[in-house]
Structure 1
Amino acid sequence: MPTLLLFDVDGVLIQPSGYKLALRDTVNYFARRMGQADIDLSFEEIATFEACGLTNEWDSAALCVGALVVEVLLKAPALHRPTFDATLNAILTANVTVARPDFSGLAQEIAALNTEHHAVTDYTRKILCERLPVEQRSILDALFADIFSIETPTTRIQQCHTLGHQRFFETYGITAPFEAESYLIVHDTPLLHQESYKKLLAWRSNGERDFCIFTARPSLPPTGKTLGYAPEADLAAELLGLLGQVPIIGAGRLQWLAERHQRTTADYIKPYPTQALTAIGAALSQQEVSALEAAAALTESNLLVSPLADLRNQQTEVVVFEDSVGGILAAQRAVHKLQAYGLDVRLRSIGVSPEASKRAALANVADVVVDDVNAGVMLVLGDS
């Protein structure tokens, strides 16, 4: 029976300290722009964000900065200006300070509203907008219109910290807002032990089983020009010794696909099934482009084409290793779609996290929850 493994990156294969520290410093950057004290988000707060569905730091940064702006405008409504930057400048000049917002409480409000586990951006904007008068709500468009855009203020600063100023310029073709080293390069560490790595490579060499990376991290496209594509998933694969060894189904691959089908990246990425369908096809075929096109054919046109069509007439097990509810739901939705076409595909979902809040959330959707990816890998390889 073919077995296909889909591995998330952050919190599963990689300890994403770089992203967390970049998020902390991004929020601090905007707090200082408004004359506020440093927020210094804790790792516990970030874990709560992730447990509540805010698994993308661009969403988390927009939430935190947006919440801080809202708190100031509630205290001093006259500081509202027509643009986001002008409003920040007015706040700084007025020397108005506010108490630290309850970021964890806001994340829990978002989770309570997002009962179907969709992308969280619209829910975040809704919750913050409802705190402001109607005439002031458009100020938040700068943060929430498109969190994937480098024009979004919080995303731009997050990316400078994440990539470093030199790679920022190489990626986007514009000068970075300040000089910085890459937090990913400096702070990220592998969670996959060398023993697990070797066993995984030996396991895949035994035919009819393989794996791929399945991550919401920005990545290079599968082919073509790379301007505008941040190589964050590719950097993770390089750190793990997997670059060029397995497909990387990251956000850049989905961005490339979305541009070809007049969609947005958010339409295709976790928690929606297109990315998971791509990962299944890529793990099966080790071909990224054909897997991307097959996933789009199925979700856009209800056409089952290779490599997904190659799942016919056999039983296939898909195993997803995830630290987020959205990633597991994406895999579930993908497998349900394949089953609707009569394919005998079965899913085993392994939640991965040592954090209590995330484990509790994962337990609602995963078949099993383990402390780390090595325990999960041993569990699967022991069954093979």
Structure 2
Amino acid sequence: MDVYLFDVDAVLLHPGGYRAALHATLRHFAQQLGLSTPLLTAGEVEVFEAHSIISEWDISAICMAAVVLEGLLAAPALAVPATLAAALAALRSHGALQPTINHALLARRTAAALRPGEYAAQAAARILAGDLRVAADARSAALCALLDHILLHTRDPQQSLTFRIFQNYTLGSSAYSACYGLPAAFTAPGTLAVEDRPALDAKWADEILAAVQTEALHAVIYTARPSLPPSATAA
């Protein structure tokens, strides 16, 4: 029996949706902070990827944790909020936030600290909490708790704001609500549907589909892309 394995990215399609959703997510948070400049440039995203930090769920959370930490360290009179949403609101009200984060250094240190079986964001939580300025801050415990809140649950739709916003952009508002049973934060068409482009020639695609339908061959799509949430796939 012949079995054909087709990878999704770069084989069945030219991927663009995830990258577009990442930049849209970071623009969303920049706007909440009252900033017009990007929190992470395309080149800085590539730096993370060069250090094998390739999950947009991790990259978005790491970026936001670093931005929020930088803002709170620069405002010692502010109480440290318990959530990312509250921290964004507090920093916007405080004003004058101008993040100057060395993302290349953060990516390199995070990659070096990564432990087997660990997500990059979990390693970043230790790196950011280990900043000497955090240890010297009277709010150190609260700062570390906020970092954990942002970085330790990057794949949990109930706990991670960065995950929810990214998935809202990636899937589109309708599919997001159907998938997670949560209200969409905004209306969006879904970057996977808009930005991803077929890579397989239409002639080959038609021939493969016809062969599969007649059981002349069996085809499997192999991908690391998630589909339904864990609670749905476990059933």
The reply to whether TM is greater than 0.5 is yes
What root-mean-square deviation, in Å, do the aligned CA atoms of Structure 1 and Structure 2 show? 3.1
Shift of 1:155: 0.7
Question: Is the counterpart of residue 168 in structure 1 residue 176 in structure 2?
Answer: yes
Correspondence 1:178 to 2:186: yes
Kept in 2: contact 1:31–1:38 (CA 8 A): yes
The separation in 1 between residues aligned to 2:117 and 2:202, in whole angstroms, is: 34
Q: 145, 148, 152: which one pairs with 1:141?
A: 148
1:150 is matched with 157
Q: Structure 1 residue 212: deviation in Å?
A: 2.7
Partners in 1 of 2:94 and 2:49 — Cα distance? Answer: 34
Number of positions where the alignment pairs a residue of Structure 1 with one of Structure 2: 224
Deviation at residue 36 of structure 1 after TM alignment: 2.8
Report the CA distance shift for 1:167/1:203 in structure 2 as closer, same or farther (over 3 A). Answer: closer
Residue 56 and residue 78 in structure 1: after superposition, are their counterparts in 2 closer, same or farther (change >3 A)? same
Quickly say closer, same or farther: Cα 1:168–1:195, change in 2 above 3 A.
same
What displacement does 1:6 show? 4.9
Deviation at 1:19, TM superposition (A): 1.2
Alignment-derived partner of residue 242 in structure 1: none
2:3, 2:102 → 1: CA distance? 41
Does 1 or 2 have the higher relative contact order (CA < 8 Å, sep 6+)?
Answer: 2
Structure 2 match to 1:233 = none
Matching residue's letter, 1:9: V
CA distance in 1, matches of 2:87, 2:102: 22
- Does the 8 Å CA contact 2:60/2:162 hold for their aligned counterparts? yes
Residue in structure 2 matched with residue 256 of structure 1 by the alignment: 233
Deviation of the 1:61 alpha carbon: 0.8
CA distance in 1, matches of 2:157, 2:122: 18
Q: Which amino acid aligns with 1:79?
A: L
Which amino acid in the other structure matches residue 28 of structure 1?
R
Question: Does the alignment pair 1:75 with 2:74?
Answer: yes
For residue 30 of structure 1, report the CA deviation from its aligned partner.
1.4
1: CA distance, partners of 2:211 / 2:56: 34
Q: Residue 89 of structure 1 aligns to a residue in which SS? A: helix
What corresponds to 1:121 in structure 2?
A: 121
C-alpha change, 1:212 and 1:68, in structure 2 (3 Å) is: same
Matches for 1:240-251 after TM superposition, within 5 Å: none
Query: Match for 1:149: what amino acid?
Result: D
Question: Aligned partners of 1:140, 1:6: CA distance in 2, in Å?
Answer: 40
**Offset at 1:196?**
5.7
CA deviation vs aligned residue, 1:207-243 (integer Å, no higher than 9, x gap): 9x865333232213xxxxxxxx4xxxxxxxxxxxxxx
User: What per-residue deviation string (whole Å, max 9, x for no partner) do you get for residues 51-77 of structure 1?
Assistant: 323222111110111111121122223
Give TM-score scaled by structure 2 length: 0.79
Matched residues in 2 for 1:12 and 1:111: separation? 28
Q: 2:123 and 2:2 mapped to 1: Cα distance?
A: 36
